[in-house]
């Protein structure tokens, strides 16, 4: 799938591994829709592309189909540091 790099970058919202539960379910940071990897029909969200880092899965780029937000699920710690350095929008939960 073609991705418009550079244009969409700033719209990506990063979520951290601890914001994904043990079943891989997470909430869209924007519209709070529950997104589950078991949603094979991709009605709630679309898996856009895996982002590789050093031959390992570094992050997963997904898109919420409800609000069209692009959400990057961080997998590798190295990439998380990079994301923070590049001042990506890191989704921060207000409650614990
Ligand atoms: Zn959403």
The answer to whether residue 88 scores a pLDDT higher than 80 is no
Beta strands in the chain (DSSP E): 13-15, 26-27, 34-35, 45-53, 56-64, 70-74, 89-90
Q: pLDDT tens for residues 37-66?
A: 777 778 899 989 998 888 889 999 999 999
86 Rama sector, left if φ>0, alpha if ψ -120 to 50, beta otherwise: alpha
Q: Which residues, by Cβ under 5 Å, contact ligand 1, an ion?
A: 28, 30-31, 33, 64, 66-67, 69
65 alpha carbon to ligand 1 midpoint, in Å? 7
41 alpha carbon to ligand 1 midpoint, in Å? 16
21 alpha carbon to ligand 1 midpoint, in Å? 17
Gap between the Cα atoms of 7 and 24, Å rounded? 28
pTM > 0.75: no
């Amino acid at each position: 799938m073609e991705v418009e790099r550079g244009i969409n970058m700033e719209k990506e919202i990063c979520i951290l591994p601890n914001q994904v539960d043990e079943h891989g379910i997470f909430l869209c940071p924007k519209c709070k829709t529950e997104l589950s990897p078991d949603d094979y029909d991709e009605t709630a969200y679309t898996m856009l592309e895996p982002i590789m880092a050093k031959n390992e899965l570094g992050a997963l780029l997904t898109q919420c189909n409800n609000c069209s937000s692009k959400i990057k699920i961080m997998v590798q710690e190295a990439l998380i540091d990079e994301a923070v350095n590049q001042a990506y929008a890191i989704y921060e939960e207000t409650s614990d």
